Amino acid sequence: MTRRRFPALLAGLFAAAALGLSLPATAQQYKDEYKLSTVLGEAFPWGWGAKRWADLVAEKTDGRIRIKVYPGTSLVSGDQTKEFTALRQGIIDIAVGSTINWSPQVKELNLFALPFLMPDHKAIDALTQGRVGKRLFDILAERDVVPLAWGENGFREVSNSKHPVRTPEDLRGLKMRVVGSPLFLATFNALGANPTQMSWADAQPAMATGAVDGQENPLGVFSAARLHTVGQKHLTLWGYVADPLIFVVNRKVWESWTEADRKAVAEAANQAAKEEIARARAGISAGDDAVLKEIEANGVAVVHLDDAGREAFRKATADVYREWAGRIGADLVKQAEEDVARR
């Protein structure tokens, strides 16, 4: 009986395809391998989280969904700002992406790059895990992707090869590598620096040769990339912006999976994201400052800004904040400010 039914089932599926009818997810062909894009490799919390997600998906789907991680945004020739477009187009199947890198295509993601909006990790959590995070996921869901979980690259601190940075005047004239975001250019221009957009793949050689004087990145990136070896001897902890990450799947890929496998992928994303956030925050707080001590042990002079010191930078970038709040959406920014205040 089973042998008679199988050819009939195949005939029915072929007929449906010929008529242009959609097939149920269980009848669709899964790819042998899905491509996951990320900027950083496994040595960094970001890349580690991507690999952890891939491993958990294979485990939870009994190997039906196999994911290969492509670090260095190699699927788009290293151009971080093209990642989201490639994800929408299906060139990339899955990604753990940066809100900063995707902000040129999704203006609302610039929220996290508003200078000095978020003073601490509780503020990040208040946004990503609350109504603002849900609203941003709804916005992303309208753009051919399925967002599943929030990760974290961390607060971005500033370093350079020339001198300590304690005031806005200390940044004046410094050639600073920044990501390809107009908001970052505006922020550093307001501080009197000379910002240069550059991919991460090009940034380290540029620092080593002195083509740029400095950069801004989380402490975990500074440490894992050993930036002290490329002249970054002065580091200032100012926490001016943070960079949440997003675990996301291309919508067509998502819809090709069974409901059970979608659930498994979502569960894996949330588990990997929680573990990645914990990893990103380890060693950089008052109670656990192992990463910071390691950086100092490598001969890096660290400036710890107090509230008054941060206030001087906040005032210097206030016009940028106001202008970009309007571009992002005044109501969304107001909601974020309220949630940060209530954290």
With b for 16 or more beta-carbon neighbours within 10 A and e for fewer, the 30-40 pattern comes to: beeebbbbbbb
3-state helix, strand, coil split of the chain in percent (to 5) is: 55, 20, 30
Q: How high is the pLDDT of residue 230?
A: 97
Contact status, residue 223 vs residue 295, Cβ threshold 8 Å: yes
Residues 6 or more apart in contact with residue 41 via CB below 8 angstroms: 47, 71, 72
Is the residue at 12 inside a domain? no
Task: pLDDT band for 145, please (50, 70, 90 cuts).
Answer: very high
4 has a pLDDT exceeding 50? no
- Give the whole-angstrom CA distance, residue 149 versus residue 217: 22
Tokens in use for 284? 């950089």
Is the residue at 153 inside a domain? yes
Is the residue at 170 inside a domain? yes
In the beta sheet, which residues pair with residue 214?
160, 176
Helices (H) and strands (E) in the chain, counts: 15, 9
107 has a pLDDT exceeding 70? yes
15 has a pLDDT exceeding 60? no
Task: pLDDT band for 3, please (50, 70, 90 cuts).
Answer: very low
Cα dihedral 160, 164, 170, 173 sign: negative
Contact status, residue 133 vs residue 256, Cβ threshold 8 Å: no
Is the residue at 3 inside a domain? no
Is the residue at 254 inside a domain? yes
Contact status, residue 34 vs residue 68, Cβ threshold 8 Å: yes
Range of weakest confidence among 1-10, 44-53, 135-144, 320-329: 1-10
Tens digits of per-residue pLDDT, 297-340?
999 999 999 999 999 999 999 999 999 999 999 999 999 999 99
DSSP state for residue 290 in the 8-state scheme: H
Tokens in use for 232? 């970054």
Is the residue at 37 inside a domain? yes
User: Which H/E stretch holds residue 174?
Assistant: none
- Give the whole-angstrom CA distance, residue 84 versus residue 139: 14
Average predicted confidence (pLDDT) for the chain: 92
Strands 145-160 and 94-98: unpaired
Domain count within the chain: 1
With b for 16 or more beta-carbon neighbours within 10 A and e for fewer, the 174-194 pattern comes to: bbbbbbbbebbbbbbebbebe
Q: How high is the pLDDT of residue 45?
A: 96
Is the residue at 23 inside a domain? no
- Give the whole-angstrom CA distance, residue 183 versus residue 112: 11
5 has a pLDDT exceeding 60? no
Is the residue at 17 inside a domain? no
Over residues 74-97, mean pLDDT: 96
Q: Any idea what the CATH number is for the domain that residue 147 is in?
A: 3.40.190.170
**Owning domain of residue 259:** 31-341
Q: How high is the pLDDT of residue 28?
A: 62
Residue type, 253: V
Q: How high is the pLDDT of residue 2?
A: 39
Nearest partner of 200 among 44, 34, 93, judged by Cα: 44
Contact status, residue 38 vs residue 50, Cβ threshold 8 Å: yes
